[in-house]
Every structure is written in structure tokens, then in C-alpha cells.
Amino acid sequence: MSFAVTVDLVMLTVRQGALSVLLIRRAIDPFRGAHALPGGFVHEDEDLDEAASRELAEETGIDSAGHLEQLGSYGTPGRDPRARVVTIAYLALLPHAPTPTAGTDAADAAWLPVSNLPPLAFDHAKILTDGIERARAKLEYSPLATAFCPEEFTIADLRQVYEAVWSAPLDPRNFHRKATSTPGFVIPTGRSTTGDRGRPAQLFTRGPATVLHPPLLRALPPSPPA
Amino acid sequence: MSFAVTVDLVMLTVRQGALSVLLIRRAIDPFRGAHALPGGFVHEDEDLDEAASRELAEETGIDSAGHLEQLGSYGTPGRDPRARVVTIAYLALLPHAPTPTAGTDAADAAWLPVSNLPPLAFDHAKILTDGIERARAKLEYSPLATAFCPEEFTIADLRQVYEAVWSAPLDPRNFHRKATSTPGFVIPTGRSTTGDRGRPAQLFTRGPATVLHPPLLRALPPSPPA
């Protein structure tokens, strides 16, 4: 039994306050004209991570993602009508939305808000859902939100990432207190924004923490039964 | 470019107080005679998860694992000298060590403590290391340790799981207080052990929590820089 192996990319960024994903429109069959995650076949001499990085660079011109991790493998028989194809999906979190440079098999590429998506080719809707849920969950226990931020950011910038990914408004003062009191999450740079958008705000950079303790929970965990 | 696709299983349990993994000895080339993770080729009509469940059943006679999750995909060129093979690795956590039933390509199979392993075939040492680290990390933030326990367990049973997986002794009174005060982690059954091994101990069952809050941390997170 022989398989084709592809990589597909769930590339997320926060754009105009909305969690957004890069989608291409397929220029070839199957699913010609449909939206899909960018991706392609793994080459003979490539490791899986290398193939993901290459596809990312081809789609966006970005040489290294802010954050690129394996999301999972998808191989249900029939997911691709051409052949038995297993795809290794990767999750990339980008600090800004680069202008996509559509590859040869993509009619065009664009950033679309995840709250209002068209139908997707193959099982890409399932893969995208898994990627968004991974990002949402990781923001609670890890400093991953900073992967969506530029090198230096304000606490309001960071809060807007959380609000976009979680699709929920957060209390600014409460968030500021939690973010700045969580050990190793953010470090003040000593610099401030220039005040052209209101009063100056402190600028921070990413701290050394790999886990957030205490976590920034989306909601309180369920109470134990009485 | 065509690939073969396999699944490999990192099956962990706590056995005689030690975190242990099921390894086979290969009966065929390549790496004939070497220890390896159990696994095999994905069949034509199978989804990846189905192939993992089938391999688990073939190796152990277990129909459903206490916990079975995708660990990651490994596809470095040359990892298998026969052909280009991508393997999807799964992590299974078992409440007890079933007697292995070696398949046709395995000379024999045995549970070995992870603290004292022989060299492994292919890139299986790397896959096993990733599986152990996944289990260690998940015990902090999830109730996954209960997947290593029988239906009803004492807090000492649960502590011994943590001690085995983390390779570290834990203070019994401190652990008891944390485990029983973490919302939704464990629920008292109202029953106790019979006192043939000392005084009776309360029996618990797994609670509804999907995350532990506060977490049971292995060590305090790094302090922020001064």
C-alpha cells in the first residue's frame, strides 16, 4: 500500500482585530475554485518540518515563522479523491499578516477572518477547527499569544490578541494586572509608545516563561459535584 | 513520490513503581533482533486512529486503551533503510500492564522500565523520548494520571503514578492536600480499601475536570529576571 504525503498549513494571525487564516483558492482539480489551506506534497529529500517551512516560505515569502508546530496527521480513506493521501498539518502563528504570494496551484490567496469562512476543500474545515482550538487552549497555559505580537508590544496589544483568539472581550485593568504579575510572561523594556494614539503606553517584550502560572483561563473550570 | 505509512505505539504504564514501555524485539530485517516500539503498516481501508487501535489490540489484546492520542509524525529521509516511510506515533496510557501477545513480526514483547532501556531500532528512541515528555508535561495540567489508575484508587496510588512518571518522590501529605482540593480532579466513592495492607484508605474515582486548576507542577516556574 503506497501513500502520497502532503503538508498543510493552518496559518493564523490577528488582523484588524480578528483572528484570520490564510486560504488559497484551488486552481486545479479536485475542488477547483474552492478555498483550501495552503500546502503541498512532501519532496523526496525533505523532512516533514522542512516541507512545512518551504510551503510557508512559498506562500508568504516568510523564511521563519514566529511559531510553527505540528498540529496532527489526517489520513481518512477517501479524504482526497485522487489517491490515498496522508497530510501532516502544521500550525503557524504569525505576528503580522504578510502579503501572500500565491503558488502555482493556487489561483489566489487571502487572509480571511475565521468567524466567517467559506466551505473548504478536502477535510480542511476539520483541520482548521483543530488548529484554532489548539491556539485557543495554548493561550491559557503558555506565552504563545506573544507569537502574534511584534518584538515590542503594549499590554493592550497583547490583550487584543487574547480577545481576537478567544472571541471574547476582556476587562482591560484586570488583564493588565494578570499579564504583568504572571512570572516571566512579559518584561518591561523601559520604553513607551509615542503618544500619537493617546497617552503613552509602556512597551514590553516576551519573557522567559514557557508555561504561565497561574494560567490566564478563558473561563473558570467546572466546579466539583457537591 | 510515494511513501509507506506506519503507526507506532508508545504504550506506557506504571509497573512495580516504575514508568514502563512495551517494546518488541524485531524478528525481521531491518534491525533484526533490536528492540523497537510496536507498530505496523496502515492498511488500505483504515483511518490512522483505526490502525493505531488495531495495532494496540494485536500487541496486547486490549480493545480500547485508557487513553490513546496522536503524539506526532516522523518522516526524516533515511529513517527506514527500506523505503521512504512516514510514521504516525501514538501515545497510549494504560492502567495496568497487560500480558503482551507478540505479533508475527515481533520475536517477543516485554514491558521495560524507561529508566534503563536498550538501544532502539529506527528513530524510536526519539519517538519514545517525545512520548515520555508529553506524559510528564500533561500530568501537570490535566487529570491524565488517572488513566494509569484502575477505576477506583487511593490517593497513594495516584501519588505513585506521579512519582513514577516524574521520577521524583513527592511529599505524601502535601500531595494528598493538593489532589483532593483541586476542583474536579478526584471524587470520593465513600468506600475504603480493606485494611489488609495497613489501615483502610479512602477510594476515589476520576472527576469531571479536563484541566487541573491550580496545576500540579513538577517544579516552580522560573522566576522573572530582576
Residues B84-94: tens digit of each pLDDT: 999 999 999 98
Which residues in B lie closer than 8 A to residue A142 (C-beta atoms)? none
Which residues in A lie closer than 8 A to residue B210 (C-beta atoms)? 221
Looking at residue A221, what is its pLDDT?
46
- Percent of residues, chain B, with pLDDT higher than 90: 70
Q: Which three cell numbers stand for residue B209?
A: 475536570
Place of cell 504578510: A98
Looking at residue B33, what is its pLDDT?
92
Which residues in B lie closer than 8 A to residue A85 (C-beta atoms)? none
Q: How confident is the model at residue B226 (pLDDT cuts 50, 70, 90)?
A: very low
Name the β-bridge partners of B124: none
DSSP B153: B
- Asked if A169 is an interface residue toward chain B (Cβ–Cβ < 8 A), one would say no
To probe the interface with B, which of A86, A134, A178, A187 has the most B CB atoms within 10 Å?
A86
Residue contact B88–A75, C-beta within 8 A:
yes
Residue contact A222–B184, C-beta within 8 A:
yes
Looking at residue B106, what is its pLDDT?
59
pLDDT in tens, chain A (226 residues): 899 999 999 999 999 999 999 999 998 899 999 999 999 999 999 999 999 999 988 877 777 656 899 999 999 999 999 999 999 999 999 888 777 775 555 668 889 999 999 999 999 999 999 999 999 999 998 999 999 999 999 999 999 999 999 999 999 999 999 999 999 999 999 999 986 667 889 999 999 998 888 888 887 544 444 4
- Closest-CA distance, B21 to chain A, in angstroms, reads 23
- Asked if B41 is an interface residue toward chain A (Cβ–Cβ < 8 A), one would say yes
Residue contact A183–B222, C-beta within 8 A:
yes
Encode pLDDT of B46-69 as tens digits.
Answer: 999 999 999 988 877 777 656 899
Lowest-pLDDT range of A177-181, B149-153, B196-200? B196-200
CA B84-B90-B91 angle, to 5 degrees, is 145
Residue from the list B44, B86, B221 with its beta carbon closest to the beta carbon of A5: B86
Looking at residue B199, what is its pLDDT?
81
Encode pLDDT of B87-123 as tens digits.
Answer: 999 999 988 877 777 555 556 888 999 999 999 999 9
Which residues in A lie closer than 8 A to residue B79 (C-beta atoms)? none
- Asked if A86 is an interface residue toward chain B (Cβ–Cβ < 8 A), one would say yes
Q: Backbone phi, then psi, for B98, in 5-degree steps?
A: -70, 155
- In whole angstroms, what is the distance from residue A56 CA to residue A100 CA? 10
Q: How confident is the model at residue B220 (pLDDT cuts 50, 70, 90)?
A: low
Numbered ranges of CATH 3.90.79.10 in chain B: 4-139
Residue contact B43–A1, C-beta within 8 A:
yes
DSSP B78: T
**What spatial distance separates the first Cα and last Cα of chain A, rounded to whole Å?**
54
Q: Count CB pairs under 8 A between chains A and B.
A: 123
| Rama region for A72: left / alpha / beta (φ>0; ψ in -120 to 50; rest) | left
CATH topology of domain B4-139: Nucleoside Triphosphate Pyrophosphohydrolase (3.90.79)
- Is residue B192 a contact partner of residue B203, using CB atoms and an 8 Å limit? yes
Q: Region B185-202: what's the mean pLDDT? A: 87
Looking at residue B223, what is its pLDDT?
46
Residue contact B3–A1, C-beta within 8 A:
no
Tallying the residues shown for chain A, one arrives at: 226
CATH number of B143-206: 1.10.10.10
- Is residue B130 a contact partner of residue B141, using CB atoms and an 8 Å limit? no
Decide if domain A152-206 falls under CATH 1.10.1370.30: no
Residue contact B48–A75, C-beta within 8 A:
yes
- Distances, alpha carbon A140 to alpha carbons A162, A212, B63, B139, B194, in Å: 9, 7, 34, 16, 42
Residue B202 has pLDDT above 90, yes or no: yes
- Closest-CA distance, B164 to chain A, in angstroms, reads 22
Q: A61-100 burial string, b = 16+ CB within 10 Å, else e? A: ebeebbbbbbbbbbbbeebbeeebbbbbbbbbbbbebbeb
Q: What amino acid occupies position B22? A: L
- Is residue B193 a contact partner of residue B163, using CB atoms and an 8 Å limit? no
Numbered ranges of CATH 1.10.10.10 in chain A: 152-206
Encode pLDDT of B2-13 as tens digits.
Answer: 999 999 999 999
Looking at residue B134, what is its pLDDT?
95
- Is residue B18 a contact partner of residue B164, using CB atoms and an 8 Å limit? yes
- Closest-CA distance, B220 to chain A, in angstroms, reads 9
Residue from the list B45, B76, B208 with its beta carbon closest to the beta carbon of A77: B45
pLDDT averaged over every residue in chain B: 89
DSSP string, A66-85: SEEEEEEEE--TTSSSSS-E
- Closest-CA distance, A107 to chain B, in angstroms, reads 24
- Is residue A153 a contact partner of residue A203, using CB atoms and an 8 Å limit? yes
Q: How confident is the model at residue B197 (pLDDT cuts 50, 70, 90)?
A: low
- Is residue B104 a contact partner of residue B19, using CB atoms and an 8 Å limit? no
| B143 class by beta-carbon count within 10 Å (0-12 exposed, 13-18 middle, 19+ buried) | buried
Residue B225 has pLDDT above 60, yes or no: no
Instruction: List, in sequence order, every beta strand (DSSP E) within chain B.
Output: 4-15, 18-26, 35-36, 39-41, 67-74, 85-93, 106-113, 186-192, 202-206
Residue from the list B41, B47, B222 with its beta carbon closest to the beta carbon of A184: B222
- In whole angstroms, what is the distance from residue B201 CA to residue B191 CA? 9
Looking at residue A123, what is its pLDDT?
98
Which residues in B lie closer than 8 A to residue A5 (C-beta atoms)? 1, 3, 5, 75, 86
Cβ-Cβ contacts under 8 Å for B216 (sequence gap 6 or more): B139, B140, B162, B178, B179, B182
| A31 class by beta-carbon count within 10 Å (0-12 exposed, 13-18 middle, 19+ buried) | middle
- Distances, alpha carbon B102 to alpha carbons A18, B22, B39, B122, in Å: 52, 11, 11, 19
